[in-house]
Amino acid sequence: MQPEDFQQQFDVSHETFAKLQAYHALLLKWQAAINLISPKTIQESWQRHFADSAQILPYISESIKTLVDLGSGAGFPGLVIGIMRPDIEVHLIESDERKAQFLRTVSRETGAENVTVENARIEEIEGLKPDLITARALSDLPTLLRYAEIWATDNPALEMLFLKGQSYAEEIADAQKHFGFDVKDYPSQTADEGRILFINGLKAR
């Protein structure tokens, strides 16, 4: 995928696309010093990372005001969503200081004032009240739901969007041993066997 293909596919304005291009340029620059993404995916980064993140946009409810992205790493999907949806307050949780510094740099240089970087472990985060939780390539579904449980207790309407690979069905079955929840899975636009999981109604069994 070329940058122009991304812009066309997701109907991105020129202003927002310029910010994403700046993000991409910073990603390549910082990648030389710290391992932000797999080196094998650098040449395909618009497809493998930016489009993979942006494809969850249609599944974000209109009522969403605050998003928490778990284990943000290089900012996928949380920072992409933050740039493309400036009306949403986005919190990127990343425990690695160097990656957190990268996220801060991109946020600052793209003018993403709605984005806050939380340099801490997920378990240490306090005071956030998200409507939506996202994660990509962080952990298995039971672990993600354990992270989300405290927020679901405070907000029964909490929604989750997780990008998953071919083992998504097994992960759902495993998670259902520990939690009750509603789940819908949608095909990924960027990975043949990938799925986007939309989860709500989370409760511990």
Does the pLDDT of residue 173 top 90, yes or no? yes
pTM of the predicted model as reported, rounded to 2 decimal places: 0.94
Does the pLDDT of residue 191 top 90, yes or no? no
Compute the mean pLDDT over every residue in the chain, rounded to the nearest whole number: 95
Which of 119, 135, 128, 136 lies closest to 152, judged by CA? Answer: 128
pLDDT band at 43 (very low <50, low <70, confident <90, very high): confident
Q: Is pLDDT larger for residue 69 or for residue 32?
A: 69
CATH superfamily of 52-204: Vaccinia Virus protein VP39 (3.40.50.150)
- Pairing status of strand 132-136 against strand 89-93: unpaired
Q: Are 86 and 34 in contact (CB under 8 A)?
A: no
pLDDT of 68 reads 98
Does the pLDDT of residue 204 top 90, yes or no? no
Q: Establish how many alpha carbons lie within 13 A of residue 124's alpha carbon, considering only the half-sphere containing its beta carbon.
A: 8
Please, which residues have CB within 8 angstroms of residue 157's CB and are 6 or more apart in sequence?
131, 200
pLDDT of 50 reads 96
pLDDT in tens, 70-101: 999 999 999 999 999 999 999 999 999 999 99
**Every domain of the chain and the residues it spans:** 52-204
**How far apart, in whole angstroms, are the C-alpha atoms of residue 169 and residue 159?**
19
pLDDT of 150 reads 92
| Structure tokens belonging to residue 85 | 């949806």
